[in-house]
Amino acid sequence: MDAEKCAELMPALTVIAVRAALLVRGLAGTGDVRHKSGGWPVTQADLAAEAAIRDEFARAAPALPMISEEQAEAETLRVGIAGGGSYALVDPLDGTREFIAGRDEYAINIAIMTNRQPILGIVAAPALGLIWRGIVGRGADRVAFAADGGLSPPHPIHGRARPPRPPHDLTVVVSRSHLDARTQAYLAALPRARTIACGSAIKFGRLAEGSADLYPRLGPVRDWDVAAGHALVEAAGGRVATPQGQSLRYETAERLIRGFIASGNPAAPPAPP
């Protein structure tokens, strides 16, 4: 998959994201929660959204493999992606804890991966009726969706203005449920920055549209939690890298990224202390 092919697929993927978002929104408050190995919660909405995305994706792009959070291990073995080929990487409900708590900060993430890097990213926020989407090298936009699935005209988006803002004039979005000690230390080194706690990949959307400057996550996170937002932010002119400024490494054996700093500006963000 290259940028041109991703652009051809984007309308169909947007429809898939909207339908999944409406499905998830309709299941909010059902109270059906169980726990996977490791203690992670999973709900009926997680499973229903994954099944819906899988079915529709198979019709829209039958030749493109899909790996999703709930069946990642089995799908990785089946698909055999170790060579760095193209595939879809999906988190059908990112921010399950926020969803269970009745907050609006949950999302659906759809990424297209090529050569171990995300090239297309869609972040849908069901409760907000918003979708942020982008293709690296071709720009990003935001669309609103209605209860009947109708879409607003796309609104082009981009990260904060250049040059990068000084440390005393930064807006930093951080995880509401996963604020680790290293990230807290990073925030302490930016004492005059405005900090906003938010759940799920919505934080990437806020970076891409220019509502925030930085999103530091210095603890471990899974590939499917990051890939769609990564592509989105870079499509909007920003940057997502390791805390040391290197490229993120996807497709490890554990599908685990050890930490990252996302910036709405392509210049290097403040480094961790």
Q: Of 97, 130, 157, which one is at a domain's C-terminal end?
A: 157
Kindly state whether residues 116 and 212 are assigned to the same domain.
no
- Rounded to a whole number of angstroms, the distance between the first and last alpha carbons of the chain is 38
Q: In 27-154, where does DSSP find H-type helix? A: 44-60, 72-79, 96-101
Domains in the chain, number: 2
Kindly state whether residues 28 and 151 are assigned to the same domain.
yes
Kindly state whether residues 181 and 139 are assigned to the same domain.
no
Per-residue pLDDT of the chain (273 residues; tens, 9 = 90+): 899 999 999 999 999 999 999 999 999 877 677 766 555 778 889 889 999 999 999 999 998 989 987 676 555 545 455 456 899 999 999 998 899 889 999 999 999 999 999 999 999 999 999 999 999 999 999 999 999 999 999 999 999 876 666 767 889 999 887 788 899 999 998 888 899 999 999 999 999 999 999 999 999 999 999 999 999 999 999 999 999 999 999 988 888 999 999 999 888 788 888
d(CA 52, CA 93): 12
Q: Of 131, 157, 183, which one is at a domain's C-terminal end?
A: 157
Asked if residues 93 and 111 have their Cβ atoms less than 8 Å apart, the reply is no
* Distance, C-alpha 258 to centroid of its chain: 16
Say if 269 falls within a structural domain.
no
Say if 48 falls within a structural domain.
yes
Kindly state whether residues 144 and 172 are assigned to the same domain.
no
Domain, as residue range, for 218:
167-263
Looking at residue 30, its pLDDT comes to 74
Q: What is the CATH number of the domain that holds 27?
A: 3.30.540.10
Say if 196 falls within a structural domain.
yes
User: What's the pTM value of the predicted model, to 2 decimals?
Assistant: 0.93
Buried/exposed code over 73-92 (b: 16+ C-beta within 10 A; e: otherwise) = eebbeeeebeeeebbbbbbb
Kindly state whether residues 190 and 101 are assigned to the same domain.
no
Say if 110 falls within a structural domain.
yes
**Residue that the structure tokens 């055999």 belong to:** 80
Amino acid at 42: V
Say if 108 falls within a structural domain.
yes
Say if 273 falls within a structural domain.
no
What backbone phi and psi angles, to 5 degrees, belong to 13? -65, -35
Amino acid at 23: L
* DSSP code, position 253: T
The torsion region of residue 7 among left (phi > 0), alpha (psi -120 to 50) and beta comes to alpha
Q: Of 107, 129, 157, which one is at a domain's C-terminal end?
A: 157
Strands in 171-175's sheet, in edge-to-edge order, are 194-198, 171-175, 214-217, 260-263, 239-241
Looking at residue 77, its pLDDT comes to 47
Kindly state whether residues 172 and 90 are assigned to the same domain.
no
Buried/exposed code over 195-231 (b: 16+ C-beta within 10 A; e: otherwise) = eeebbbbbbbbbbbbbbbbbbbbbeebbbbbbbbbbb
- Say what angle helices 44-60 and 3-26 make with each other, to 10 degrees: 150
